[in-house]
């Protein structure tokens, strides 16, 4: 009986040996590990057979591959591939992953009219596992004879991801606009957000929540009231990074006067040039449905800018 048990055990191990010998484990960029067998591999994709079927994985999403046995010569196709290491990306300032862009533009005319204009803006995002911080600043200066326009805005936001897609946000935004006779607009609020996409090629999120809205007008009475806020932020890389489309908008509705709503939007096209340099064409539209005395509801700015993206 003992000899029979040993024979069965030996046979089981012999049959199992080929299966375990060919089992391979790969690691994905999101931390997941898959066990199976590599069927084929190119610089763009890896065909990987598992117990649940055969998967085609983008090579950019695989951070670690099993080492090639020394007694087997790799095929020419595999030999050309630069296998990525599993070393984590080195964090930046404050151990965060930073992205952002800074732009500048301007124009000058002479002849029947003498005008000069300068505009600049910058935005940066710091990303941790569960936290994200966003910063935005822009400046616009124009001189046309005796008329000088000097506008600026500043905004900051903190997001905390309590679920893979959902987050809490807190935001503070300040704006000064001489064209609209606005000495200061401040909007302080918090709420919820949902991150629909967040990759290097595509980002899309929506936000909604309450805030406190304050206006200091140069030609009208100051106002302050609770408000409801909605915002959307979208960017999409097209044709493997040949250019990118973006659109952001914010809606603020004072609860004591809902027809005095405010809409701000930025829509444009961004084209990478060389070594981080980018060219941007942008249209900014601001709509105040209850503007200050002597001003109009709509303010539109068209701009071409040169910037640096990181």
Name the more confident of 86 and 164: 164
271 vs 4, residue with greater confidence:
271
Q: How many whole angstroms separate alpha carbon 187 and alpha carbon 177?
A: 15
Q: In the sheet that 53-58 helps form, which strands lie side by side, from edge to edge?
A: 53-58, 45-50, 33-41, 24-28, 62-64
For residue 112, what are the CA distances in angstroms to 64, 117, 141? 66, 16, 20
| The pLDDT of residue 210 | 98
- pLDDT one-digit tens code per residue, 21-37: 457 887 877 777 878 88
Q: What percent of the chain has pLDDT over 90?
A: 52
Write out pLDDT tens, residues 58-77. Answer: 877 777 776 544 444 444 44
Give the mean pLDDT of the chain. 83
pLDDT of residue 160: 98
pLDDT of 38: 85
Cα 158 to chain centroid, rounded: 14
Provide the pLDDT for residue 294: 81
pLDDT value of residue 6 = 44
- The average pLDDT across 10-24 equals 47
Taking 80 as the threshold, does the pLDDT of residue 107 lie above it?
no
Give residue limits of the domains in the chain: 2-79, 95-309
Neighbours of 205 (CB within 10 A): 19
Most confident of 9-18, 177-186, 234-243: 234-243
Q: What is the pLDDT of residue 262?
A: 96
Model confidence band, residue 17 (pLDDT cutoffs 50, 70, 90): very low
If one compares 128 and 299, the residue with the highest pLDDT of the two is 128
pLDDT score of 80 more than 70: no
Q: What's the rounded mean pLDDT across residues 12-21?
A: 41
Mean pLDDT of 227-244: 95
**CATH classification code of 2-79:** 2.30.30.100
Query: Which CATH number is associated with domain 95-309?
Result: 2.40.160.40
Better-predicted residue by pLDDT, 201 or 142:
201
């Amino acid at each position: 009986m003992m000899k029979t048990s040993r024979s069965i055990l030996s046979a089981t191990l012999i049959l199992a040996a080929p299966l375990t010998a060919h089992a391979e484990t790969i690691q994905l960029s999101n931390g997941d590990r898959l066990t199976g067998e590599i069927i084929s591999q190119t610089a763009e994709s890896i065909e990987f057979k598992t117990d649940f079927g055969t998967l085609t994985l983008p090579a950019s999403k695989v951070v670690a591959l099993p080492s090639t046995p020394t007694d087997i010569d790799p095929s020419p196709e595999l030999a050309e591939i630069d296998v990525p290491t599993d070393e984590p990306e080195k964090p930046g300032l404050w151990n965060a992953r930073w992205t952002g862009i800074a732009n500048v533009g301007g124009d000058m005319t002479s002849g029947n009219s003498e005008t000069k204009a300068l505009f600049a803006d910058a935005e940066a995002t710091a990303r941790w596992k569960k936290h994200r911080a966003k910063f935005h600043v822009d400046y616009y200066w124009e001189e046309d004879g005796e008329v000088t326009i000097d506008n600026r805005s500043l905004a900051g936001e903190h997001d905390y991801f309590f679920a893979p897609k959902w987050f809490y946000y807190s935001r503070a935004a300040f704006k000064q606009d001489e064209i609209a006779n606005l000495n200061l607009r401040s909007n302080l609020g918090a709420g919820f957000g949902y991150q629909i996409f967040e990759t290097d090629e595509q980002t899309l999120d929506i936000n909604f929540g309450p805030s406190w809205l304050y206006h200091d007008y140069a030609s009208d009475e100051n106002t302050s009231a609770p408000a409801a806020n909605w915002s959307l932020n979208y960017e999409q890389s097209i044709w493997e990074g040949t250019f990118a489309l973006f659109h952001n908008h914010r809606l603020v509705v004072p609860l004591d006067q809902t027809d005095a709503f405010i809409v701000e939007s930025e829509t444009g096209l961004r084209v990478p040039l060389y070594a981080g340099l980018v060219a941007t064409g942008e249209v900014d539209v601001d709509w105040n449905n209850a503007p200050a005395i002597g001003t109009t509801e709509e303010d539109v700015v068209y701009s071409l800018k040169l910037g640096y993206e990181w």
